[in-house]
């Protein structure tokens, strides 16, 4: 027998209400029943994206929504600015390259956050930049970007601000409209507490103009089609019916909790995790703006980081994430996103302690759990 705990930055655990919704008999999508669901989730998504604009639902993972942003907002030969402080920032650059879009790149040392003044400078010296691609939470490093500050810098220019909020939406604050974000994208398997399979994208009036004038060829990801269909409470292709019905359950839970409470809960889970990590004598990878979504931790000297993650998962059923790309074996990542509460964190830290002790790492057993509990008692 094995009880599993999922503390990864996607997928995240599913609430029972969500799982139950997916067990219901399938309905047809071009029906009044499904139209009622579309109406409900459309309102719910506006609520979590904190926008008055429509949010389009794609049957894709989060990257499909990122691709939709690139394919719809720009034309081949145009120039975009990307911010690369980790694997997901790099994805924006790769997507632009795939669509023949030139990129100016701001390289940010992994573990650090971009200085908004650098973005401002780049925009001044490169007035041809049509879009700025940023990442709300750089999941590979556990660092947040100050989107509000970027919004202020980009708003004054012709460029559109595009934010990858795949990890972060519904976990940390993203005031899409108020912060002048022109396009925000997300995915289902992170803060929204669903299985993978849905991508989301919302665009501002400024971005919508770009959608209408873009010379890129696009078909499945054409937001003009999505927009037209949504106007008659429909989708251009067969939607992921079951996942969208599950989404309506997740959104109901989120509305009941309220965004402020959701953000506070994530803050507390993150504080407890960071406090536990420090009490174990370990070091955070993020040297600035550590995220409330996921905590990246440096693997201590003498410990095999990949073995640590593997043992926690295969021997004890606690799944955390290892490092990606150049951070492979160098960091491990504990996510505290979505349907996670204090005793999930306690279980995760407790398992981390157990395996670290078995691997010969020197620390006071229980120190991490104690530090986390002290945060939860506050």
Ligand X SMILES: *Cc1c(COP(=O)(O)O)cnc(C)c1O
92 is a site residue for ligand X (CB under 6 A) = no
- Residue tagged 């349907």 (tokens): 339
| CA-to-CA dists, residue 299 to 283, 303, 305, 353, angstroms | 8, 7, 6, 13
CB of residue 239 to ligand X, shortest distance in Å = 17
The residue among 170 and 368 lying less far from ligand X, judged by its C-beta, is 170
Contact flag: residue 170 with ligand X (CB under 6 A): no
Residue 185 Cβ, how far from ligand X at the closest point, in Å?
A: 8
C-alpha span between 222 and 72 (Å, rounded): 7
Q: Is 10 in the site for ligand X (CB under 6 A)?
A: yes
Return the beta strands (E) in the chain as ranges.
5-6, 55-59, 79-84, 102-107, 129-135, 137-138, 143-144, 160-164, 183-187, 198-203, 294-298, 318-319, 321-322, 331-335
Tracing tokens 């390289």 back to the chain, one arrives at 107
Select 12 or 311, whichever has its Cβ closest to ligand X.
Answer: 12
By rule CB under 6 A, what count of residues binds ligand X? 14
For residue 199, CA distances in Å to 179, 242, 292, 357 come to: 22, 14, 22, 40
**List 17, 35, 42, 63, residue binding ligand X (CB under 6 A):** 63
Of the candidates 13, 44, 62, 142, which one interacts with ligand X according to CB under 6 A?
Answer: 62
Least distance to ligand X, CB of residue 199, Å: 7
Q: How far is the CB of 297 from ligand X (least distance, A)?
A: 17
106 binds ligand X (CB under 6 A): no
Contact 5, 319 (CB under 8 A): yes
Return the sign of the alpha-carbon dihedral for residues 276, 279, 280, 281.
positive
Output 84 or 135, the one with its CB closest to ligand X.
Answer: 135
- Considering only residues 173 to 192 of the shown chain, the ones binding ligand X according to CB under 6 A are 187
Task: By CB under 6 A, name the binding residues for ligand X.
Answer: 9-10, 61-63, 88, 135, 137, 139, 164, 166-167, 187, 196
């Amino acid at each position: 027998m094995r009880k599993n705990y999922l503390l990864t930055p996607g997928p995240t655990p599913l609430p029972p209400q969500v799982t139950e919704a997916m067990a219901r008999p399938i309905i047809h999508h071009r029906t009044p029943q499904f139209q009622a669901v579309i109406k409900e989730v459309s309102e719910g998504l506006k609520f979590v994206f904190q926008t008055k604009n429509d949010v389009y639902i794609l049957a894709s993972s989060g990257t499909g929504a990122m691709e939709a942003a690139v394919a719809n907002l720009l034309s081949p030969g145009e120039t975009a600015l990307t911010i690369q402080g980790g694997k997901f920032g790099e994805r924006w650059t790769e997507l632009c390259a795939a669509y023949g879009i030139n990129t100016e790149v701001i390289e940010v040392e992994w573990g650090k956050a971009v200085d908004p003044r650098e973005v401002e400078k780049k925009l001044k010296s490169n007035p041809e930049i049509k879009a700025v691609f940023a990442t709300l939470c750089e999941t590979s490093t556990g660092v947040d970007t100050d989107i509000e500050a970027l919004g202020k810098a980009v708003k004054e220019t012709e460029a559109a601000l595009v934010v990858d909020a795949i990890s972060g939406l519904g976990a940390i604050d993203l005031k899409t409209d108020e912060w002048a974000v022109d396009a925000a994208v997300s995915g289902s398997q992170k803060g929204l507490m669903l299985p993978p399979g849905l991508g989301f994208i919302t665009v501002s009036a400024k971005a919508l103009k770009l959608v209408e004038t873009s010379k890129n060829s696009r078909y499945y990801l054409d937001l003009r089609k999505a927009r037209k269909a949504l106007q008659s409470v429909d989708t251009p292709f067969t939607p992921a019916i079951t996942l969208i019905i599950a989404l309506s359950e997740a959104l109901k839970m989120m509305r009941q909790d309220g965004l402020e409470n959701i953000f506070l809960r994530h803050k507390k889970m993150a504080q407890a995790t960071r406090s536990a990590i420090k009490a174990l004598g370990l070091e955070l990878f993020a040297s600035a703006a550590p995220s409330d979504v996921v905590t990246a931790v440096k693997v201590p000297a003498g410990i095999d980081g990949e073995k640590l993650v593997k043992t926690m998962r295969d021997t004890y059923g606690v799944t955390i994430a290892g490092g990606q790309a150049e951070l492979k074996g160098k960091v491990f990542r504990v996510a505290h996103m979505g349907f996670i509460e204090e005793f999930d964190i306690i279980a995760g830290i407790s398992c981390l302690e157990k395996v670290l002790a078995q691997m010969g790492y020197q620390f006071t057993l229980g120190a991490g759990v104690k530090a986390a509990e002290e945060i939860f008692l506050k």
